[in-house]
Amino acid sequence: MRITRLTAAAGAFALAMAAAACGGGDDSGSGKASGIVGKASSDKKLVVGVKADQPGLGLQTGGTYTGFDIEIAKIIAKGLGVPETGIEYKTTVSSNREPFIQQGQVDIVVATYTITDDRKKAVNFGGPYYVAGQDLLVPTASTITGPEGLAGKKVCSVSGSTPAKRIQTEYKDAKLQQFDSYSKCVQALSDGSVDAVTTDDIILAGYAAQEQYVGKFKVVGKKFSDEPYGIGLKKTDKEGCEKINEILKTAASDGSYKAAWDTTLGKSGQAAPTLDVTKLTNCS
Ligand code: GLU
Residues 6+ away with beta carbon under 8 Å from 106: 47, 48, 49, 90, 92, 100
Question: Ligand 1 center to residue 114 CA distance, Å?
Answer: 6
> What is the pLDDT, as a whole number, of residue 34?
72
Q: Could you tell me the pLDDT band of residue 11, with boundaries at 50, 70 and 90? A: very low
CA of 51 to the centre of ligand 1 (A): 10
When pLDDT is cut at 50, 70 and 90, the band that residue 61 belongs to is very high
Q: Give the pLDDT of residue 30.
A: 43
Ligand 1 centroid, distance to 2 Cα (angstroms): 56
CATH of the domain at 157: 3.40.190.10
126 shares a domain with 40: yes
The per-residue pLDDT for 269 is: 87
What is the domain count for the chain? Answer: 2
**Residue 21 domain-assigned?**
no
Euclidean distance between CA atoms 279 and 262, whole angstroms: 22
Is any ligand 1 atom within 6 A of the Cβ of residue 114?
yes
The answer to whether residue 24 sits within a structural domain is: no
Q: Does ligand 1 come within 6 angstroms of the Cβ of 157?
A: no
Are 127 and 40 within one domain? Answer: yes
Q: Above 70 in pLDDT, residue 26? A: no
* Residue 199, CA atoms < 13 Å, CB-side half-sphere: 29
- Which residues constitute the domain of residue 109? 36-132+227-270
pLDDT computed for residue 167 by the predictor: 98
| Statement to judge: residues 70 and 155 lie in one domain | no
> What are the pLDDT digits (tens) for 192-202?
999 999 999 99
Residue 283 maps to a domain: no
CA–CA gap between residue 284 and residue 41 (Å, rounded): 23
Checking if the pLDDT of 45 tops 50, the result is: yes
3-state secondary structure of 191: helix
The answer to whether residues 72 and 193 belong to one domain is: no
Least confident range of 151-160, 173-182, 192-201, 264-273 = 264-273
| Residue nearest to ligand 1 atom 6, measured at CA | 112
Say which range, 57-61, 90-94, 234-238, 269-273, has the weakest mean pLDDT. Answer: 269-273
Residues contacting 122, CB < 8 A, separation 6+: 98, 101, 102, 235
Q: What is the pLDDT of residue 145?
A: 97
Of the residues 57, 91, 94, 223, which should be mutated to test ligand 1's pocket, given the most ligand atoms within 8 Å of the CB?
94
Closest atom of ligand 1 relative to the 162 alpha carbon = 10
Tell whether ligand 1 has an atom less than 6 A from the beta carbon of residue 227: yes
State the Cα–Cα distance between residues 46 and 284, nearest whole angstrom.
Answer: 23
CA distance 67 to 48: 14
For the cut 60, the answer to whether the pLDDT of residue 262 exceeds it is yes
| End residue of a domain, out of 219, 250, 279 | 219
Residues 104 and 168 grouped into a single domain: no
